[in-house]
């Protein structure tokens, strides 16, 4: 079975330019702190806060800016710290999801929707998808070995330009499977 690198996404957000302006000032540009595995994407130096009914947390920004603001949280953060209902969605599908208050150094934004728990997903380029025998939107499984071994089902394939081979899970999923840096999984198509 093909081996796939497993990466853990901690809580973070993607911002629209409009919301970035409100939080950091008109025409603001994000500062790259660290490039991440997906081509062109980066963790920004800037941080904001997310505020729910129960409490607040710091939130990393992943750039570049997007059309719509979206916050990705693990279920633990939703329940324990923020008081936001965890709603599982594929990234980008935010219609009808919970909102939250975002707070930056220059202002606040009350988003009406956009807070999701990201569905575990496999990023692949078009060529990688072809080589692996999968296509965008497929549901596949990934088996993780080790002392906390498990097989993740309902892994959605996201392929196309700007994608590169990486199986992405959140911190709850990473802790549940004993993830460490350098963990690989086996793709089951």
Rule CB under 8 A: which residues touch its own copies?
74-76, 79, 86, 88, 119-120, 147-154, 169, 171-173, 175-178
Q: How far is the CB of 19 from its own copies (least distance, A)?
A: 27
CA angle 58, 51, 54 (to 5 degrees): 110
Longest CA–CA span in the chain (Å) reads 50
Q: DSSP string of 72-116?
A: E--HHIIIIII-----EE-TT--TT---EEEE-SS-EEEESS-EE
Q: How far is the CB of 119 from its own copies (least distance, A)?
A: 8
Judged by beta carbon, residue 21 or residue 72, the one nearer its own copies is 72
Q: How far is the CB of 30 from its own copies (least distance, A)?
A: 26
Judged by beta carbon, residue 90 or residue 101, the one nearer its own copies is 90
Q: Left if phi > 0, otherwise alpha if psi is -120 to 50, otherwise beta: which for 94?
A: alpha
Judged by beta carbon, residue 19 or residue 173, the one nearer its own copies is 173
Judged by beta carbon, residue 30 or residue 134, the one nearer its own copies is 134
């Amino acid at each position: 079975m093909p081996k796939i690198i497993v990466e853990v996404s901690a809580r973070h957000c993607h911002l629209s330019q409009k919301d970035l302006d409100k939080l950091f000032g008109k025409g603001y540009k994000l500062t790259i702190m660290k490039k991440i595995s997906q081509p062109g994407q980066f963790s920004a130096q800037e941080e904001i806060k997310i505020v729910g009914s129960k409490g607040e947390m710091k939130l990393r920004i992943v750039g570049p800016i997007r059309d719509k603001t979206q916050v990705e949280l693990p279920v633990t953060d939703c329940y324990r710290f923020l008081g936001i209902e965890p709603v599982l969605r594929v990234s980008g599908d935010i219609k009808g999801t919970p909102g939250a208050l975002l707070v930056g150094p220059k202002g606040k934004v009350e988003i009406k929707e956009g807070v999701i728990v990201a569905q575990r997903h496999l990023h692949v380029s078009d060529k990688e998808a072809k080589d692996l025998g999968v296509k965008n939107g497929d549901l596949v499984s990934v088996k993780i070995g080790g002392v906390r071994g498990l097989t993740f089902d309902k892994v959605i394939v996201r392929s196309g330009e700007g994608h590169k081979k990486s199986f992405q899970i959140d911190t709850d999923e990473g802790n549940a499977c004993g993830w460490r840096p350098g963990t690989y999984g086996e793709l089951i198509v």
